[in-house]
Homo-oligomer: A and B are copies of this chain.
Amino acid sequence: MARPSQAKENLIKAAYDLIWETSYGATSVDDICARAGVRKGSFYHFFESKAHLTIATLDAGRAKHFPELNEIFSPLVPPLERFVRFAGYVLFYQQERLALTGHVCGCALSSLGSEVGSMDELIRTHIIDIFSSHLRYYESAIRDAAREGLIDGTDAPLKAKMIQHYVQGALTHARVLNDLTPVHDMARSMLHILGAKPDLIPALS
């Protein structure tokens, strides 16, 4: 019968944190074990390799964040407000991670995908799948906003991609500059990209 253990979850959390803070390549199996408080034998009991653990961190991240994104992008939320709330959600996690690490960490998926994407097909396709989900949140909100006459509805898919690319570029910049200004500008910029009229924009908190 199974012997209860937190080792697996601790390894996933440790890998998630370390890879996001620095990079995939700079994060060794020993580093992850040290952060998780387990020994290498345990690591390899649960995971075939660092790459397999990384896939588990992506799945854990999805499990953690998608319920929250479902709330933010719920069809019950006024469409443009979804983007404002989303900007708040991004800022919240960036500030939290900044407090823990001392520097802005940006988008974990984007950094990981960029670094590892040409060398590990499994990690790459997992990230692409998550990116596709994000894109559908944006598209749905854009269509709903157009239906309410809040914005011009032409080319919703392209606008969704603009939003997605802009958000990730802003997070990458925040990380490189070690400065949250791009994240603070996010709500306003997304609404600008969508062509929302200023008087129709919900309060930017």
Binding site for B on A (CB under 8 A): 21-26, 103, 105-106, 110-111, 113-119, 124, 127-128, 131, 158-159, 161-162, 164-170, 172-173, 175-178, 182, 185, 188-189, 192-193, 195
Contacts and interface: CB of A to CB of B under 8 A. Distances in A.
Given A161-B182, A162-B189, A169-B164, A176 B110 contact: yes
Nearest to A182: B165
Given A162-B166, A164-B169, 19 more contacts: A23-B114, A23-B115, A25-B26, A26-B119, A113-B176, A114-B115, A114-B172, A118-B175, A158-B188, A158-B192, A161-B185, A161-B189, A164-B173, A165-B167, A165-B169, A165-B172, A166-B166, A168-B172, A193-B193
A154 to B, nearest CB: 10
Q: Which of A103, A110, A167, A178 has the most CB of B within 10 A?
A: A110
A118 B166 contact: no
A43 to B, nearest CB: 20
A41 to B, nearest CB: 26
Contacts of A128: 176-177
A4 B165 CA distance: 46
A111 B118 CA distance: 12
B115 A106 contact: no
Contacts of A166: 162, 165-166, 169, 193
Contacts of A177: 128, 131
A175 B165 CA distance: 12
Given A169-B168, A182-B161, A176 B23 contact: no
A173 B165 contact: yes
Nearest to A127: B176
Contact of A169 (B23, B172, B192): B172
Given A25-B23, A110-B172, A162 B193 contact: yes
